[in-house]
Chains A and B, each alone.
Chain A
Amino acid sequence: MARAEIAARTLRTDRWWLPPLTTFVGLLLISIYAAFRTFQGDFYWVDQYHYLTPMYSPCLTEECVPAAAHFGQWFPALPGFLTPPVIIIPFLLGFRITCYYYRKAYYRAAWASPPACAVAEPHSKYTGETKFPLIAQNLHRYFFYAASVLLLINIYDAILAFGTGVGLGNIILLVNVGLLAAYTLSCHSCRHIAGGRLKHFSKHPVRYWMWTQISKLNNRHMLLAWTSLIFVCLTDLYVALVASGTISDLRFIN
């Protein structure tokens, strides 16, 4: 028996192409900005107020301004156009790329698989996440562990910056780690590890409670994914502007 003969790719009459287009443009702009800042290799540290942009934290190579290398310079200077963040970016990027929300976002927006619900995808074959390379999405868990460590370092940086007083930059760094923490905690892997994997919640009241709280955050995972991503860029931009002397930090105390 055959399917109903309907030639149109979709009969949807709403602007179904708008959300994937917006997502695509948003992700593209952010990627361009992040790539530019990564390879700029400068203006990541404000010596006067101890602001370190999250994009360069931890700064681990010999190129790093010594004061910005909170954990020491573990690696020799990198050759050519490489800059300190290339050591941590694979983890940060890996975390976002394998994130269940971003997967949905770019599968739809960049790969049109599907572009929107009930709109036919242009590919003739589809194997989903069953084969290499996409089967590697199952590694999200590791990136979650790695990103959690980087988050703790960002929190440490944000607290350290209070050593010189309080300025607008401190507030921005603090909000940034708050959003990053909310995003990381709301992760599906985190929800699973905290309690989701249990069969009997009644035997593990504490983990059940954690799972309940994380589930609430998890409901907002998409929102947190976007706000934390945009805010990291804004934080970085603020640090870059202050570090380059383009603007001066607004100081509240000292």
Chain B
Amino acid sequence: MSYQGKFRVWRGDDSGGALEDFTVEVNEGEVVLDIIHRLQATQAPDLAVRWNCKAGKCGSCSAEINGRPRLLCMTRMSVFEESETITVTPMRTFPIIRDLVTDVSFNYTKAREVPSFAPPKDLAPGEYRMQQVDVERSQEFRKCIECFLCQNTCHVVRDHEENKEAFSGPRFLMRVAELEMHPLDTADRVDQAQDDHGLGYCNITKCCSEVCPEHIHITDNALIPMKERVADRKYDPIVWLGNKLFKR
């Protein structure tokens, strides 16, 4: 039930690096993170990897396996052929620290740029009352484990470093959507999304949704609804007229 698996792991730091070949024991029921740990225990004690929960909940172990952005701890070895060489590389979009560990502070910067929840002035904490149907949409986005795989995969920044300035990425556009749809948030998030967070850069090609380990419908439920709100605001006189006539 166990076999010798072939691995190629990227090793290096910001001064350079390369893929290194390893042959490691693989046992039934293991995930890629187990193999990386076995490598550390047996052949490469200084191999750097970030992890924490091994349960797909902390979002630490993001990397790329055979070129696909994934969580190391949630990728079962059983999805690969025994003869296959499995390539493990760090996330490409962020600066490398060492081996499989990248510096994800781009995401923390972008997170800080989203103005926080703005409840009505006359409500004290503890007085918030909301109906379930009204918070449901925002709740989907709260499933996020901040693994930043979506940020890493999004071609807007992955293929164009220069766009990092203007574009906050799917994770934080989704945060803007979460607040915009929140029943008690009073801030105006629509212009922000377009002007400050670069919503227009997204071309809805859905790679963020494809890689999200929480299966959040980022594009369909956050990005496109935000694009539609921007269209309301900036490009739709019929809605404008309707609002004038029927004052909702």
| A interface residues (Cβ-Cβ under 8 A, vs B) | 1-6, 8, 10-14, 100, 103-104, 107-108, 113-114, 117-121, 123, 125-130, 134-135, 138-142, 145, 188-189, 192-193, 196-197, 199-202, 208, 218-219
Contacts and interface: CB of A to CB of B under 8 A. Distances in A.
Contacts of A126: 155-156, 159-160, 163, 201
Contacts of B17: 4-5
B96 interface: yes
A199 B181 contact: yes
Interface string B95-137: 1110000110000000000000000000000000001011010
B205 A197 contact: no
Contacts of A4: 10, 12, 17, 89-90, 92, 96, 102
A108 B205 contact: yes
B204 A103 contact: yes
Nearest to B194: A130
A173 to B, nearest CB: 30
B236 A141 contact: yes
Contacts of B201: 126-130
- Interface size class on chain B is 35 or more
A114 B207 CA distance: 9
9 contacts: A103-B204, A113-B205, A117-B210, A118-B69, A126-B155, A126-B160, A129-B203, A188-B225, A202-B134
Interface in B216-231: 220, 224-225, 227-231
Choose among A2, A100, A197 the residue with the greatest number of B CB atoms under 10 Å from its CB: A100
B203 A107 contact: yes
B62 interface: no
Contacts of B202: 128-129
B67 A104 contact: no
A205 B82 CA distance: 54
Interface of B: 10, 12, 14, 16-18, 64, 66-69, 84, 87, 89-90, 92-97, 102-103, 131, 133-134, 136, 153, 155-156, 158-161, 163, 181, 183, 198, 200-207, 210-211, 220, 224-225, 227-232, 234-236, 238-239
B159 A188 contact: no
A173 B225 CA distance: 33
A117 B153 contact: yes
Given A141-B231, A197-B232, A2 B156 contact: no
Nearest to B209: A117
A134 B227 CA distance: 13
Nearest to A101: B204
Contact of A196 (B67, B97, B131, B225): B225
A210 B203 CA distance: 27
A138 B235 contact: yes
A199 B69 contact: no
Contacts of A104: 203-206
A200 B134 contact: yes
Given A1-B95, A200-B134, 10 more contacts: A13-B87, A100-B224, A117-B211, A126-B201, A134-B203, A141-B236, A188-B224, A196-B225, A208-B133, A219-B220
User: Interface centre among B16, B102, B206, by most A CB within 10 Å?
Assistant: B206
B159 A114 contact: yes
A188 B220 contact: yes
Contact of A128 (B156, B225, B230): B156
A3 B68 contact: no
Contact of A118 (B158, B198, B232, B236): B158
Contact of B203 (A103, A117, A119): A103
B159 A138 contact: no
A141 B235 contact: yes
B200 A128 contact: yes
Nearest to B93: A3
A188 B228 contact: yes
Contacts of B235: 138-139, 141
Nearest to A131: B200
Nearest to A221: B220
A110 to B, nearest CB: 12
